[in-house]
Chains A and B, each alone.
Chain A
Amino acid sequence: MNYDEKLQHVSVLGAAGKMGSGILLLTAVEMADLSLKPENKGKTFVLNAIDLSDDGLAGLIGYLRAQVQKIAEKKTVWLRQMYADRADLIENYDIIDQYVNDVLQIVRPTTAMETAYRSSLVFEAVTENKDLKVKILKQVDQNNPNKAWFFTNTSSVPINIIEAEAGLNGRVLGFHFYNPPAVQKLVELIVTANTQAEMKQFALDYAKALRKVVVPSNDFAGFIGNGHFMRDALYGIQQAQKLASGRPLYEAVYMVNKVSQEFLVRPMGIFQLIDYVGVDVVQFIMKVMNPFLKDEDLHSDLLDEMMVMGVKGGQMSSGAQKDGFLKYERGAPVAVFDVKSKAYIAISEFAAKCDAELGALPEGYLPWKAAVRIKDSDSHFKPYFASVKSLGTTGGDMAIQYGRNSDRIGRKLVADKVAHNEQDVNTVMLTGFFHAYGPVNNYFE
């Protein structure tokens, strides 16, 4: 079965979810483009959008229609060539409409898992729960006569465990998109010792067609992305707890968040990032990863406490940020959760005092938005962090310690053979987390 044939009958499990809908969009567009090739004219392409949620599926087509239209508007020159033989399609309007219809015609939203039994390729993007994933994949595989290939979007569960428990022997790999899949360029590719070579080649071809940056990760819980993020998050939480002796924890959370965003020039502070991913998801991924780690305990009581209190963060279906460690107004943090009073305390009440204690940012500071555009990042960040170091302030010292720890995590991922090399670690953090500089560097020595 060649590449085009493999993509003729595909299913996405969990298609209405945040990740699933993005994977569905990209795959639908790729399949439609294949269907337009002269050699594929007349062939039927089917993409099952499978999800348990009727509500989720109801909104899916509207989402796809809007997104596909945007994509079509950007490749109209190419589309005019593809539809050159259609005398009835004359204006760009006609051609874009037709393309949107052609993409949507491929997609079959359904709650029936049975439709996946005929697919030759299955994307899995259900809840990050190993037992659930194993159960579903096993069910589909046992009822599917095609020896289908399974791409799981897990960000933390080792693929070899899914492979063994679901009995997929060589027919599963980790194809980990970043959120949101339609925008984020990064994909972590994880194969097991058994993964078929031709399946891996297909995955690389598919990633290339989608214009993704592939970073291979070894099959170790959390892979590279979460391997770094979870440890970095735990460090941030611990720093806040340490800083909280003699002051309320919410002030410490504010300070660590500020240091990790502004002093370290990151797109968001560590607590905002935890909220973005979801307190529940972070707690869950740590729980999945922890049993596989020998010399460390990847666990936070504070996260457990937050979960008990029902403070979960995450995003609404509109993409708006839900409140977690921080409370948001129009996407910007305005208050911090106080675990004692179980209420949010406005940042304006204590920011001045905390800011004074952290001290000012050094001269030459550029916010992340500007710094991320600098091509030769060494030339900016090396002298910048040298000035951070020479500040001698609480904020400066915290930033340097934080940066060193982040660097340590990166090197450990290589030493533990999760990542093949330091460059891969940096690529994941630059591409998947939009950092302005890679964590493995020599800025903090």
Chain B
Amino acid sequence: MKKMQKKIYMTAGFNTTSMGTGRKEFNPKKERPGLEYYISEAGKGVVKQIGGADKIDETVIGNFMAARFNKQAHLGGFAATVDPLLEFKPSLSVEGACASGGLSLVSGMRSVLTGMSDVVLSMGVEVQNTVKAIYGADILAGAGWFQNRKKGHAYFFPGQFSDRAGAYYEKYGFDYARKGMRQWFVNAMENARLDPTAQEYHNSGENLEALYDKMKPNGAAFVDHLNVLDCSKVSDGASGILITSEEGLQKLGVSKENAVEIVGWAQLTRNITNDPPSAVELTTIKKTAAEALAMAGISIDQVATVETHDCFSIAGVLATEALGLAEPGKGAEYVAAGNTSRTGKIPMNTTGGLIGWGHPTGATGVHQAVTIWQQLTGKAGDAQIAIPKERPYGMTINMGGDDVTVVAIVYKRADR
């Protein structure tokens, strides 16, 4: 069993708004803030909480495809745009498709564990509304194996998860599965309405179930087994959080009730050139979550809330099975019964997740950590849920590609 050599913590999380369709102020025809704005905005939001950047030893920026969305690589060079004190300190960018944010966290955690840094500023960023969705699909397809692009769908990733949804319908029944996916969507909207930074914050649709049922999957217009409500958003956004050692936390003067402790984590990758071992199982998520829980020495039953990577509603349903909350094939029922809603057994994606809050791909992993930090330290505002004493843990699952790169982290409030 893997063990950490010392304690690590996270604190001072910050999310920018997730910008894109759904936000009232979003106008695709008008010029918008770019990559530089989001990086510095997220970084400044963190720095402000600790009164300056002098104690930050290192910066890591997670990003997936700025090289194509924004024609910009080398994002490590932007650290000092957050604060001049970050210049001539270590800074790098990391990439693992939509798990780039998770890798940013992992990279910071490794650095603290080795003793090279006591305080790491971990960020994630993506600005995707620079191109129309049909071209964005090309760019995001880079998360798969390019040799498969030609035979893939025009909307490549929706196509991949449409195939998974189709397999799930085939095995367990269409109406049964859609009920679970519908509830996943409804939860996402209802949670997003409680977080002012969420892309669907302004969502005010009255009968979400009816809306969902009306929009039948239509392969002629989109993909065969998903509608657009099953999909995460196209988003511009960034998130940041500090990863610290015990000494780092003291240096910052942050009290433990304002920090979370990382009690377990894992990062696994499957072979990108292979098809997934099963269309109806998120195998890498299953293995990674199990390892993280094992390191934490807890079972999933002790977790109060999970942020999981619902790039598509079917991924949300499959995650409940991969996490062991539901038996194989029972995830749809588990979600439909309300277990993952904010008043359910284990509230998931309490600020809307990728479908409701938004999915600035490279930022998502960090955003998930920020949300869990907020929930466990009582800073989630209107989106705050109750954290039961006997189940003090939170968990994040960040996935890159079709279950290829996965980062799982288990947290608890540092003073508990």
Contact = CB atoms under 8 A, between A and B. Distances in A.
A73 B146 CA distance: 21
A77 B138 contact: no
Contacts of A238: none
Given A77-B154, A77-B220, A80-B154, A93 B149 contact: no
Interface in B130-175: 132, 134-135, 137-138, 141, 146, 149-150, 153-155
Nearest to B220: A77
A213 to B, nearest CB: 20
Given A91-B141, A92-B154, A76 B149 contact: no
Interface in A94-151: 96
Interface residues of A, number: 11
Given A92-B135, A93-B138, A77 B149 contact: no
Interface of B (DSSP majority class): loop
Contact of A92 (B134, B146, B221): B134
Interface residues of B, number: 16
Contact of A76 (B134, B150, B219): B134
Given A92-B135, A93-B135, A77 B141 contact: no
B220 A91 contact: no
Contacts of B135: 92-93
A79 B153 CA distance: 11
Contacts of A80: 153-154
B297 to A, nearest CB: 46
Nearest to A83: B150
B153 A90 contact: no
Contacts of B155: 77
B154 A90 contact: no
Given A91-B141, A92-B137, A93-B138, A77 B132 contact: no
Interface string B222-261: 1000000000000000000000000000000000000000
Contacts of B220: 77
Interface SS of A by simple majority: helix
A91 B136 CA distance: 11
A96 B221 CA distance: 16
Contacts of B132: 73
Contacts of B137: 92
B134 A73 contact: yes
B153 A87 contact: no
Interface string A76-88: 1101100000010
B42 to A, nearest CB: 30
Contacts of A76: 134, 154
B138 A91 contact: yes
A90 B134 contact: no
Interface string B198-234: 0000000000000000000001111000000000000
Contacts of A92: 134-135, 137-138, 154
B225 to A, nearest CB: 14
A90 B154 CA distance: 10
A390 to B, nearest CB: 34
Contacts of A87: 150
A87 B151 CA distance: 10
A73 B131 CA distance: 12
Nearest to A70: B132
Given A91-B149, A93-B138, 5 more contacts: A73-B132, A77-B154, A77-B220, A87-B150, A92-B135
Interface of A: 73, 76-77, 79-80, 87, 90-93, 96
Interface of B: 132, 134-135, 137-138, 141, 146, 149-150, 153-155, 219-222
18 contacts: A73-B132, A73-B134, A76-B154, A77-B154, A77-B219, A79-B154, A80-B154, A90-B146, A90-B149, A90-B150, A91-B138, A91-B141, A91-B149, A92-B134, A92-B135, A92-B138, A92-B154, A96-B134
| Cβ-closest 8 pairs across A and B | A91-B138, A76-B154, A77-B154, A90-B150, A92-B138, A73-B134, A90-B149, A80-B154
